[in-house]
Amino acid sequence: MTSGDNNQATPPSVLLPEPSHSGAMSRLRNYFLTGLILVGPLYITINLTWWLINWVDDVMRPFIPIGMRPETYLPYRIPGIGLITALLGLTLLGFLTANLVGRTLIEFSENLLNRMPIVRPIYKTMKQIFETLFSKNGSSFRKVALAEFPTGMWSVVFLASQPGPDIAARLPDSDYVSCFLPCTPNPTTGFFFYARRRDIIELDISVESAMTMIMSAGMVQPNEDAQKKLAALAETARANRAQVTPVAPVN
């Protein structure tokens, strides 16, 4: 047999399958990531809840008489006793302030705090914040919008109430709204500013969804319908900004 016959008998080159160990490692990695996704949030949630319960228990322990503490009669502590005591105490305090005697005591204590130079601004600020957050008629964040901040970039902001009469009288336009731009990943810090209502775009997504998106730096997006609306509104805003007034022809 000649060398030419040997060349003709050589089969064409084919793609060899990848080693089986590569597919096995990929499956193991997927299994590990799936388990991590399932266990990670649950572990963090349980630890944060446990920390909160223990923290409230430690704060409320000095206010619970020794004879009413379960560890006085049992060889171990029962978690949650301080939390239950705090809930019952706050509920009872709210019930007592609903009558005349409770309102009189509250007014007396507030008048006493208002006479303290250093404590007065701190107390008034904290009271306004709590009333805004937990009052039914409060003006807490209820809407999400897009605002061009800084210029040329669109940011997700939370809308609050309109500016007060003193501030509104000094603004160049009367139709302004309060905006809070939270930072990532800590939404408790950010920027506060007033923007013209016509310059912002309200979004049809909940505050919780927007907060999750901000804390995850955009990795967790709202549902598909909200994403389409968000993209359409942003595109409309860009188109409006891109419109240029035509120049009259020169004779």
Residue-wise pLDDT tens digits, 221-246: 766 555 566 666 666 666 665 654 45
Do residues 183 and 166 make contact, with C-beta atoms less than 8 angstroms apart? no
Percent of the chain whose pLDDT exceeds 90: 3
- In this prediction, residue 247 has a pLDDT band, given cuts at 50, 70 and 90, of very low
Please state, in angstroms and rounded to a whole number, the distance separating the CA atoms of residues 201 and 148: 9
Q: What is the pLDDT of residues 10-23, one digit of tens each?
A: 455 445 455 555 67
Which residues is 178 bridged to in the sheet? 194
Residue bearing the bigger pLDDT, 130 or 62: 62
pLDDT at 232: 65
Q: Assign a CATH topology to domain 143-241.
A: SH3 type barrels. (2.30.30)
pLDDT reading at 6 higher than 60: no
Kindly report which listed range (5-9, 73-77, 91-95, 142-146) carries the lowest average pLDDT score.
5-9
Q: What mean pLDDT is reported for the chain?
A: 76
Sort 205 into a burial class: Cβ within 10 Å, 0-12 / 13-18 / 19+. buried
Please state, in angstroms and rounded to a whole number, the distance separating the CA atoms of residues 101 and 95: 11
pLDDT at 202: 84
Please state, in angstroms and rounded to a whole number, the distance separating the CA atoms of residues 9 and 5: 6
Please state, in angstroms and rounded to a whole number, the distance separating the CA atoms of residues 24 and 190: 46
Q: Which residues contact 161 (CB under 8 A, 6 or more apart)?
A: 139, 177, 178
